[in-house]
Amino acid sequence: SDRAERALGQTAGDVLTLRETLRQVPPARRGALPAAFGSAGGAAAPVDLVADGPHAVVIGMTGAGKSELLTSWVVSLCAAHTPSQVGLLLVDFKGGRTFDHLAPLPHVTGVLTDLDEATTLRAIESLRAEVRFRERTLASLGARDVDEAGEGLGRLVIVVDEYAALVAAHPLLHDVFGDLAARGRALGIHLVLAAQRANGVFRDAVLANAPLRIALRVGDATDSRAVLGVDDAARLSGRADARGTALVRRSGDTSPQPVRVALCDATVIAEAAARSEGEGARRPWLPALPECVPLASVRQAGVVVLGTADEPEQQRQRAVVWDEPALAVVGGPRSGRTGVLRAIAAQTETLPVPGDPEGAWDALTTLEHVPAGTTVLVDDLDAMLAALPGEYGAVAAESLEQALRGARTRGIRIALTTQRVGGGVGRILELVPRRLVLGTATRADHVAAGGDASDHLPDLPSGRGRLGRTLVQVADAGAQDLSVVSDPPPVWQPGRRPAAVVAPAGARLRRLTAEWERWGIPVTPVDGQASLTRGGVVIGPPDAWLAQWRLLADARADADLVIDAACAAEYRALVGSRDLPSFVVPGAGRGWWHVPDRPVRRVLMERD
């Protein structure tokens, strides 16, 4: 076509520098966003995002000059306007550093890349809040649009290089940009979205509101037609001296017009920055959460503050208060689980459950006695229950479940942490609607912990996680020691009462017998002639005691009945009860001491 031939005819000698094009453009007037990023026939060919837009779509294959076009466009806007008149958010989602050198410009509120994907998504999510902020500002000024607001509201231009990669990685952003395109004109928000091709990238919600179309060389005529309405961009030359040749179709054009992208050098950028030195455009989002939030900075009287929540969609960060009866914290190694409990312990009356299995058993099975106003802290619940074998783990879990069900009524609170969520832990977590999911190794782990797959973020700092779907940094209470070490059980020794001792045949039985005999204590083996006497001990293995059922019945009723933990399999038969005794660590010389009408006690069978 004639247009393609005119574009192909533009030689390297026709290319102007950005400084030259800027000299030919008159000063910007109110209600306009002119940019002289290109030239035609040796003269500047400005476009205006307000008059020709309000939004623009740019396409061009790799090497066609798309990044240079965007750079010159941004610098041209900065050269013609103050930061209070226009701010720019630059997004590069192709793994390059297209916009890094533009960061010093005071108009630039941020340079976002896929190398820091979390920050990029957070900033784009903040744009929803920016829409609401602008709507409130216009209402307070009594203005219908940004033009009527005058100096009360500047314009915001969002430039995205490789828009296709951005929305392919995060399809929900199609709706964000569609909404911005639909409402941007009146609010003073403008989009410049660039991609290598058009088909399958730009949805109708964007294209319908982006009448300013620019195409550099493309490889497929259908892409050219989708943007320009004609095939001409597919006929542009791929020669090196034709790089930066583009076809521009404004909202009022009947056909696209050829231009050459103006070349921008570092001095022009420096001059544009110097002209607005000391000013800065309003940033449309808050800084990201810090990696450490000191508890003193967020603490509030009368409540328990967990940390600071990041709500970019509201353009705010707020203190997170725990005001429910239960909280579950799930996270991987070094994710900061214990730090959550430290923050809670620094603000309220707490009862930490000991980490050793015996102490954990004692604490978990007596939760019904915890007084109102107490917060029970259970750290590493999964490891705690795993250390309690068989029935013990099940009974401890059931006791915790009952406490969770009745926590609100009893006026207590329970905070627990876990790394794994399977088995008995999973049933317990079902009773805890409030769940903080800290860092996990994989997206699958995040989902298993109760999080949403789209919310998973890798390499989170310690104490960072999702409470529901809100990102939270847990308050740092310092190196507060929450560890509770249970006192060792007392050593049992024969006293004035008759004693019946059950111990497996072997070295311990012989040691105990020899030790007590040295003390002058009468020790009698279990047999048909043995009897219980004051100050004496009858000792033997479980099978010998079970064979002397009458003597065993007397021991239950009138003596100290001491059973070595090594005889746990025969315990219930020996005591004549189905009750589960206190948990004792196997192989550690423990035993159970029964005295009529008293609770069973955990004891050591012999001194170290």
DSSP assignment of 388-408: STTHHHHHHHHHHHHHHHHHH
Mean pLDDT value of segment 374-391: 95
Contact 446, 331 (CB under 8 A): no
Q: Is the peptide bond before 54 cis (omega within 30 degrees of 0)?
A: yes
pLDDT class of 129 with cuts at 50, 70, 90: confident
Q: According to the model, what pLDDT value does residue 73 have?
A: 95
CATH number, domain with residue 414:
3.40.50.300
Residues 471 and 546 reside in one and the same domain:
no
Residue 492 belongs to a domain = no
User: Tokens 């990023």 map to which residue?
Assistant: 37
> 75 - beta bridge partners?
none
Tens-place pLDDT, residues 435-447:
999 999 999 999 9
Q: Same domain for 466 and 506?
A: no
Beta bridge partners of 4: none
Task: Indicate if 316 and 223 belong to the same structural domain.
Answer: no
Amino acid of residue 586: P
Residue 483 has a pLDDT of 80
Which of 275, 307, 337 is where one domain is finished? 275
- Tell me the C-alpha distance between 145 and 158, whole Å: 18
Please say which residue of 220, 247, 275 terminates a domain: 275
Q: Across residues 182-203, what is the average pLDDT? A: 93
The tokens of 46 are what? 């400005």
pLDDT of the residue at 239: 86
Does 5 score more than 60 pLDDT?
A: no
d(CA 79, CA 83): 10
- Tell me, yes or no, whether 286 lies in a domain: no
* Same domain as 261, residue 229: yes
Please list the alpha-helical segments (H only) found in 142-265: 146-149, 163-169, 173-187, 204-207, 221-228
Q: Tokens at residue 164, please?
A: 């296709």
Are residues 116 and 230 both part of a single domain? yes
- pLDDT on residue 10: 46
Q: Is the pLDDT reported for residue 8 higher than 60? A: no
**Do residues 410 and 379 touch, judged by C-beta distance below 8 A?**
no
Please check whether residue 532 lies inside any domain of the structure: yes
Query: In which band, very low, low, confident or very high, does the pLDDT at 265 lie, cut at 50, 70 and 90?
Result: confident
465 and 326, same structural domain? Answer: yes
- Are 350 and 410 found together in one domain? yes
The pLDDT value recorded for residue 6 is: 54
What is the residue whose two structure tokens read 């970019």? 312
Give the whole-angstrom CA distance, residue 56 versus residue 327: 48
Residue 187 has pLDDT above 90, yes or no: yes
For the entire predicted model, the pTM comes to 0.74
Residue 513 lies in a domain: yes
The CA-atom distances, in angstroms, between 252 and each of 47, 170, 248 are 11, 33, 11
pLDDT of residue 12 exceeding 50: no
What is the band of 11 on the pLDDT scale with cuts at 50, 70, 90? Answer: very low
- In 314-463, DSSP assigns E strands to 316-322, 326-330, 350-352, 375-378, 413-418, 435-438
Residue 59 and residue 192 share a domain = yes
Comparing 151-165, 292-306, 378-392, 472-486, the range with the smallest average pLDDT is 472-486
What pLDDT sits at residue 27?
Answer: 75
Between 467 and 172, the higher pLDDT residue: 467
Question: What is the pLDDT, as a whole number, of residue 17?
Answer: 87
Whether the CB-CB separation of 86 and 259 falls below 8 Å is answered with no
Say how far apart CA 258 and CA 232 lie, in whole Å.
10
**In this structure, is residue 104 part of a structural domain?**
yes
User: Is pLDDT of 608 > 70?
Assistant: no
Residues 348-379: tens digit of each pLDDT: 999 999 999 999 999 999 999 999 999 999 99
Of 275, 301, 320, the domain-final residue:
275
Q: How confident is the model at residue 569 (pLDDT cuts 50, 70, 90)?
A: very high
Supply φ then ψ for residue 298, to 5 degrees: -125, -5
Q: Tell me the residue range of the domain where 372 lies.
A: 293-476
- The half-sphere exposure of 338 on its side-chain side, counting CA atoms within 13 A, is 13
248 phi and psi angles, rounded to 5 deg: -115, 130
Assigned domain for 73 exists:
yes
The token duo for 237 is 């030359």
Domain count, the chain: 3
Q: Is the dihedral of CA 319, 322, 324, 328 positive or negative?
A: positive
Q: What pLDDT sits at residue 113?
A: 81
pLDDT at residue 520, rounded to an integer: 93
Asked if residue 151 belongs to a domain, the reply is no
User: CA 258, CA 9: separation in Å to the nearest integer?
Assistant: 10
Statement: residue 485 has pLDDT above 60: yes
Q: pLDDT tens, 69-119? A: 999 999 999 988 889 899 999 988 876 678 888 988 999 998 888 767 777
Closest CA to 85 of 133, 50, 51, 129: 50
- Map residue 370 onto helix, strand or coil: coil
State the Cα–Cα distance between residues 509 and 148, nearest whole angstrom. 97
Residue 134 is predicted with a pLDDT of 92
Specify whether 408 is located in the same domain as 555.
Answer: no
Q: What is the pLDDT of residue 161?
A: 92
Do 411 and 330 share a domain, yes or no? Answer: yes
Residue 94 maps to a domain:
yes
> How does the average pLDDT of the chain come out, rounded?
90
Contact 329, 415 (CB under 8 A): yes
Verify that 547 and 420 share a domain, yes or no. Answer: no
Does 195 share its domain with 341?
Answer: no
Decide: 291 and 65 in contact? Cβ < 8 Å. no
Question: How distant is the alpha carbon of residue 512 from its chain centre?
Answer: 57
